[in-house]
Amino acid sequence: MTADTRLPSWRPGATRDTLLEFLDAARSVPRADRVAYFDNDGTLWCERPAYVQLEFFLSALRRRVADDPSIGERAEFAALLSGDQGRVGELGLVRVALALAGLFEGFTPEAFAAEVRSFLAKATHAALGRPMSATVYQPMLELIGELRRQDFTVGIVTGGGTEFVRAVSEDLYGVPAELVVGTLIAYDFERDRSGRPGLRRTGRVLGDANEGPAKVTNIQTQLGRRPILAAGNSGGDREMLEWAVGADRPGLALLVDHDDAEREYAYAGKAGTLTESEPITETALRAGWSVVSVANDWETVFPG
């Protein structure tokens, strides 16, 4: 019997077997219904010791403060620049995030995307000693590749900023911008002196942060197609994973458990803006989801 060579960075075992069984079973699903959505931070790329998007905003903040030190006196920025996590917690994630978003108020979509791409092209993950763009997870890239070979539509549903992820999703994962759902920043429509229309970023968020139930409702309103595979790593992904396996057809909920302090980080995945009733790993075990152990299930964590 010929060995199955799919998913080479996944170690032999129950998790890999479940994935291969799902891929085989999905052939019975109509192509239009073969849909998979992945969370981004902690699911497709490394989110520790800080979110990549936060590193991007901090880089921009430091440049602004170098030009105008008074900017750093704002409470949210002072807490971030000093590394005072207690003060950041007191101020609240939403307030801090909105302050950072304001750094790019007035930018066109194209100018903001160019800033994101420029940052990612140069940034290095100091602890891992590799380019930030190379902190994507090789096993998940292989899974996305297998899904595409079976005519799946693959999208990203993230708590991060929609425009930030859209700027890099095609290059990193082959996911086009229109298949990225995240937390939305509002735009203002305007015309220049010649009457030519344009868009400018604001510092306002449209709706709620894209975590928890919002992930499911935003999938429906923005994409309109229910997944049969969903992958995440925190309580913010719970409802999306439940939705993927809640229909009468083959479905798979995949939870990444970060338990490898040697090759990456060991920590419990938690939602950024929601209060969780129990650890997401306990939810996964009770619900019968597939839990991916980074330490035990991944032969390789990052691309070589």
14-47+130-297 CATH choice from 3.30.43.10, 1.10.3210.10, 3.40.50.150, 3.40.50.1000: 3.40.50.1000
Dist. CA 13–CA 157, nearest whole Å: 28
pTM summary value: 0.95
CA–CA distance, 125 with 168 (Å, rounded to integer): 17
Please return the burial class of 266, using the count of CB atoms within 10 Å of its CB with bins 0-12, 13-18 and 19+: middle
Full DSSP string of 238-263: HHHHHHHTSSSS--EEEEEE-B-TTT
Per-residue pLDDT of the chain (304 residues; tens, 9 = 90+): 567 999 999 999 999 999 999 999 999 999 999 999 999 999 999 999 999 999 999 999 999 999 999 999 999 999 999 998 899 989 988 899 999 999 999 999 999 999 999 999 999 999 999 999 999 999 999 999 999 999 999 999 999 999 999 999 999 999 999 999 999 999 999 999 999 999 999 999 999 999 999 999 999 999 999 999 999 999 999 999 999 999 989 999 999 999 999 999 999 988 877 778 899 999 999 999 999 999 999 999 999 8
Helices (H), the chain: 14-25, 52-67, 75-82, 85-91, 93-101, 109-122, 138-149, 162-173, 213-222, 238-244, 280-287, 294-297
Q: Which residue has the tokens 């989801």?
A: 289
